[in-house]
Structure 1
Amino acid sequence: MSEILKCVFKGSRNYVHGTSLFNALVQAAGERGLTEGRINVSFKHMIHNPVCVLEQRSPSAEDSIVAKISGEGGKAFALCINEAVETAIADRQAFNELEVCRGAVLGEKSIVQENPHHHDRIELLVSLCKKMHQACIDDSKKWVFSRYDGQFPIPALNKVKLRITKQVGTRLTCSDVLVNGEKIGDMYFS
């Protein structure tokens, strides 16, 4: 069974932001009876069409986005998202990453924000992680959110910290995602 998603483009981007797709996957998981658990989502290809197809099925190598979702009682399934054949003009949504990161404090390979003010939790985490990469590794590279493996939904945030734990040059990193002092997952950027 497939469902059509109509996504917005954030800011001046000409692709669907990974945070929009993450939120769509979490919503789809809830519609399938999993309102909390673990999600391992990989963003393999950018989606440049605001019209996407979400399917619950076994993933293939050609899929743009693949999420493996699991919860209580061993319930598990995979969701895949790809560009639709049908196209449309993208609706745009204002998105100010500098404002999202306001008040964040950078460390050597970490970033912390106390009492975050941005309401979309995955947008907050991704924006902070991107800022950390630009400041701590390479500000000339276009860093892209490529994977999240961890808890969903993301808990209410009083304090969030991301710290780079693994790095392959400027090609790939893995960062711990700590919310209110507890690790909830790993975030990968490439």
Structure 2
Amino acid sequence: MREEFILDFCFKGDRNYVQGPDIFDEALKFILLKFGEIRNIKYVAHKMLHHNAVLIVSSEKGEPDSNSIITFEVGNLRYYASVINNFKQIKCKQDFSETEIQASSIIEQSKISLFNNLNYSFSEIIVSMNKYYLQKMSDAVGKWIITKLELSDISFYNNVYHKKISLELVKNFNNMLTKSSIYIDGKQVGAIYFSLVK
């Protein structure tokens, strides 16, 4: 099984790269249209994406030279969704500010939480929250970026409005790689990993 989909993006704010949440959300849209419910989802970012892309969904291993790969299961089968740069220029920009998410977030020791009444996707919220937490709690110099996202399933994904979203730092590897658990109303749903780029 092998299918291709075109992914068209907009740059957010003054960025010249596509944010991880936008890649994940756009790819997920096509994956869910094709498969419906999926589980054991893992998104891994390999390198920055500066153009539009092709999504190749296959039952074989991920494509070489992928910018990122999403693996997931349907029944007893595992699938690979590879996001590959197609070098087609991104021609649009969207206003985007993380200030609203950050202002709604509360940091307490190893946790950051917010009660979600915001008009952002789940991935936009958790990425912005985690980045904000690491910027506030770490004195490391550089840019924190998402490198991996793990979710047990996707049933809650579009149903997080008016729910408490929390992240708890569980591992910090010398301020170069971090792992935080993700909770919705106190229930763990996955983990998010960030790396520091200098």
Instruction: Give the counterpart of 2:160 among 156, 159, 166.
Output: 156
Q: Report what 1:70 is aligned to.
A: 73
Give distance in 1, aligned partners of 2:115 and 2:6: 37
- Give the alignment of 1:37-116 within 5 angstroms: 37-49=39-51, 51-57=52-58, 58-60=61-63, 62-71=65-74, 73-85=75-87, 87-116=88-117
Instruction: Give the counterpart of 1:186 among 177, 183, 191.
Output: 191
Q: Report what 2:118 is aligned to.
A: 117
Give distance in 1, aligned partners of 2:104 and 2:20: 23
Return the offset for 1:77: 0.8
Tell me how large the CA RMSD over aligned residues is. 1.7
TM-score after normalising by structure 1: 0.91
Gaps of 5+ in 2: none
Deviations 1:3-59 (A, max 9, x none): 22111111111001100111022112112223342310100110011x101101321
Give distance in 2, aligned partners of 1:37 and 1:70: 5
User: Contact conserved, 1:160 with 1:180, CA < 8 A, in 2?
Assistant: yes
Deviations 1:95-152 (A, max 9, x none): 1101122221112222011244233111011100110010112363200011101132
Q: Which amino acid aligns with 1:91?
A: C
Instruction: Give the counterpart of 2:26 among 9, 24, 27.
Output: 24
Aligned length: 187
User: Contact conserved, 2:148 with 2:192, CA < 8 A, in 1?
Assistant: yes
User: Contact conserved, 1:134 with 1:141, CA < 8 A, in 2?
Assistant: no
Gaps of 5+ in 1: none
Give distance in 2, aligned partners of 1:37 and 1:25: 15
Identity of aligned residues (%): 23
Q: Report what 1:13 is aligned to.
A: 15
Q: Which amino acid aligns with 1:19?
A: P
User: Contact conserved, 2:38 with 2:72, CA < 8 A, in 1?
Assistant: no
Give distance in 1, aligned partners of 2:93 and 2:50: 13
TM-score after normalising by structure 2: 0.87
SS in structure 1 at match of 2:103: coil
Return the offset for 1:79: 0.3
Return the offset for 1:188: 0.3
Give distance in 2, aligned partners of 1:64 and 1:111: 29
Return the offset for 1:61: 5.0
Give distance in 1, aligned partners of 2:48 and 2:129: 20
